Amino acid sequence: MMDRKNKNTPAITPDPNALAIADVPARREFLRKSGLALGVGTAAALGLGGRAFADTGAATTTPASSNLPPNVPEWTRALGMPTASPYGAPSTYESDVKRNLYPGLKDTMSAYSTSPLQDLDGTITPNGLFYERHHAGVPQIDPAQHRLMIHGLTETSLILTVDELRQFPSVSRIHFMECSGNPSFLPPWGKTAAEVSGLVSCAEWTGVPLRTLLEEVGLKMEAKWIVAEGADGAAMTRSIPMEKCLDDVLVVYSQNGERLRPEQGYPLRLIVPGFEGNTHIKWLRRLHVTDAPGYTREETAKYTDLMEDGRARKFSFVMECKSIITAPSGSQQLTRHGKHEMRGIAWSGRGKITRVDVSVDGGSNWYPAKLQEPVLDKALTAFRAPFEWAGQELMIMSRAIDETGYVQPTLQQLIETRGSVSFYHNNSIQPWKISHDGEVTNGRA
């Protein structure tokens, strides 16, 4: 704790014998020296597979800044803002890091907004930046008035309040969620990682296994599907096969520790790990146990995959293995030659990611990226790989492989299989082009 008498006096640098920053020789000299000081042994210690990260120096070729900080910066000479902002917010310097409507959208009721993937690190998406997809806007639900009904081909029926649901045995699991139209097969292609693939996010969900609730009501022999209905103005309704419902589906009330945000289904939503986001019914009010799918509007007119012969793949639930490089990515800029780190995320609706390969030459040659532990089932997995840029044109890309052995395809491979009129479930490899001047653009454009 700080002494009260010190409150309005300048802070004291605790170690008076330490070099003050202004006493140090010019920064350019340090950076040159630091580059020289690093050898091959260092790169090996970093686990870069023999590729030295900084043998030309991460910082050595960076233009030296001319505005060195003063010995004691202004914010060290004053008191800051008070403790205990009830909830807090990101720094005002980060105000550009936000959700945006999907490019070209104007409607805000049946609409989607993207996670700013190019500005995020790691695998957890903060709740404020988790992607949104609504069909009739975001209802503002009083949790005391909300009910979840479970009925149909069951031994008994159940109507639960939120508080009652919270009394069942609970679990917490980290899972990704992805919209099936992330992105569509059709141009125009997005410019940034958010525009290309920002309808994917990941969180720790807490709730009750659906299996527990189904054991509570008892299933009849004919029970094969559950038709789940939301309490929004679209009464969004999707059918989930019973096998999945008894496996890993959750009825959740919390996301990343706190109660669900309104736009994520407050007070209750279904989590259907690995299935397309549209099945994760928000504002969940009803689970109707049936012997057949509901064939609802959102699984007939929408969320099916039209093939070139006019037929459509339906109930194409699983989000197949996919990855995207988020840094460097479209609209970013490399500012120096030398070693860089390629960063991205990978995920699979069928389980764990086992490997991510990256390429800098448009897919002619691949080398493995490092996966961030822990690698979790149906969760975003961060990957990182070193690459070097000396001003030449590069086409960087990543391809993910999951525990079933499935390999993320190219767009061309997808089109060969599914035709070019399909809309959903484009999990193809995303190329980013780095130009001679370091500008990064969509390699598909």
Instruction: Name residues contacting a second copy, limited to 135-164 (CB under 8 A).
Output: 135-143, 145-147, 149, 151-152, 155-161, 164
Residue number with CB closer to a second copy (128 or 412): 128
Least distance in angstroms from the C-beta of 244 to a second copy: 17
Binding segment toward a second copy, per CB under 8 A, in 13-21, 183-191, 410-418, 427-435: 13-21
User: Is 374 or 417 the residue whose CB approaches a second copy more closely?
Assistant: 374
Using CB under 8 A, which of the segments 122-130, 190-198, 353-361, 398-406 binds a second copy? 122-130
| 50, 66, 84, 405: residue in contact with a second copy (rule CB under 8 A) | 84
Q: Check residue 188 for interaction with a second copy (CB under 8 A).
A: no
CA distance 229 to 239: 9
Residue choice 5, 50, 66, 86 for contact with a second copy (CB under 8 A): 86
Check residue 83 for interaction with a second copy (CB under 8 A).
yes
Indicate the helix (H) or strand (E) that contains 384. strand 381-389
Task: Please give the C-alpha separations between residue 98 and each of 10, 128, 130, 148, 378, in angstroms, as whole numbers.
Answer: 36, 8, 10, 32, 25
Q: Which residues contact 1 (CB under 8 A, 6 or more apart)?
A: none
Q: Which is nearer to a second copy, 173 or 418 (CB)?
A: 173
Q: Does 44 bind a second copy (CB under 8 A)?
A: no
If residue 237 lies in a helix (H) or strand (E), which one and from where to where?
A: strand 237-241
CB proximity list for 32: less than 8 A, separation 6 or greater: 60
By rule CB under 8 A, what string of x and - marks binding of each residue 366-405 to a second copy? ------x-x-x-----x-x-x-------------------
Q: What six digits make up the tokens of 128?
A: 């404020």
Shortest Cβ 29–a second copy spacing (Å): 9
| First CA to last CA distance, the chain | 57
Stretch that binds a second copy, among 134-142, 268-276, 389-397, 409-417 (CB under 8 A): 134-142
HEC profile of 162-230: HHHHCCCCCEEEEEEEECCCCCCCCCCCCCCHHHHHCCEEEEEEEEEEHHHHHHHHCECCCCCEEEEEE
Residue 343 near a second copy by CB under 8 A: yes
Q: Which stretch binds a second copy (CB under 8 A): 103-111, 191-199, 306-314, 432-440?
A: 103-111
Q: Which residues pair with 152 in a beta bridge?
A: 289
Q: Are strands 284-290 and 269-271 parallel, antiparallel or unpaired?
A: unpaired
Min dist. Cβ of residue 410 to a second copy (A): 28
- Residues 401-440 binding a second copy (CB under 8 A) are none
Beta strands in 258-365 (DSSP E): 258-259, 269-271, 284-290, 305-306, 312-313, 322-327, 338-347, 353-359
> Amino acid identity, residue 253?
Y
Residues 201 to 240: which contact a second copy by CB under 8 A? 203-206, 211-212, 215-218, 227, 229, 231-235, 237
Give residues 257-276 in contact with a second copy (rule: CB under 8 A). Answer: 257-263, 266-267
Contact yes or no for 352/374 (Cβ under 8 A): no
Q: Is residue 88 close enough to count as binding a second copy by CB under 8 A? A: yes
Task: For residue 184, state whether it binds a second copy (rule: CB under 8 A).
Answer: no
